[in-house]
């Protein structure tokens, strides 16, 4: 059996370890311990979006929201990151769909509010869509900022009924 030796940098092993590829993860663990990989990960966390793009290539299986044509497209992977394009990159199709639903909900929310903007610093009651114990409902937190909130219970209830499907898609984001 022929054997060859290769040198693996800690940075490359860390990329392999954090990838979705089981084989690469196993290879990384043959070269470095789990503790070494995890500690190096802490030290290498990016401090800016640009630094993140420089240190990471795109991953096959990531999804992008694209303007025009097909709304959600899958990434080929392995290419250098694009600082502009990758701002719309998501780790899964489900995540991309949730964000699209959130974009729609924000526009619909503003329509229902009809110009009203909540002031979370004062004590008046606002009615918000909340994901409480896996149940989506209308609640009335006074000073807890919520993404989907309204000036009346009636508007909140109506919004929940009319857009339950979008709210379900985006529930982890609200």
pLDDT digits (tens, 9 = 90+) for 109-135: 888 888 889 888 887 888 999 888 888
> What is the percentage of the chain residues whose pLDDT exceeds 90?
16
**What local confidence, expressed as pLDDT, does residue 66 receive?**
64
Question: Is 115 part of any domain?
Answer: yes
Task: Pull the structure tokens for residue 171.
Answer: 């529930």
Instruction: Provide the 10 A C-beta neighbour count for residue 63.
Output: 21
Question: Is 51 part of any domain?
Answer: no
Number of domains composing the chain: 3
Instruction: Provide the 10 A C-beta neighbour count for residue 101.
Output: 20
Q: Are residues 78 and 25 in the same domain?
A: no
Q: Are residues 99 and 166 in the same domain?
A: yes
What domain range includes position 82?
58-91
């Amino acid at each position: 059996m022929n054997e060859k030796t290769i040198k693996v940098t800690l940075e490359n092993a860390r990329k392999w370890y954090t990838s979705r590829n089981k084989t690469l993860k196993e290879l990384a663990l043959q070269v470095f311990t789990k503790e070494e990989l995890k500690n190096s990960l802490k030290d290498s966390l990016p401090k800016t979006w640009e630094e993140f793009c420089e240190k990471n290539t795109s991953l096959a299986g990531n999804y992008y929201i694209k303007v025009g044509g097909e709304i959600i497209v899958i990434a080929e992977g392995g290419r250098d990151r694009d600082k502009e394009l990758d701002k719309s990159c998501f780790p899964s199709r489900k995540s991309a769909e949730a964000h699209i639903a959130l974009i729609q909900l924000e526009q619909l929310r503003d329509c229902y509010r009809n110009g009203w903007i909540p002031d979370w610093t004062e004590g008046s009651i606002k009615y918000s869509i909340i994901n409480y114990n896996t149940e989506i409902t209308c609640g009335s937190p006074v000073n807890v900022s919520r993404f989907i909130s309204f000036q009346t219970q009636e508007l909140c209830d109506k919004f929940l009924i009319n857009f339950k499907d979008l709210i379900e898609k985006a529930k982890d984001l609200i």
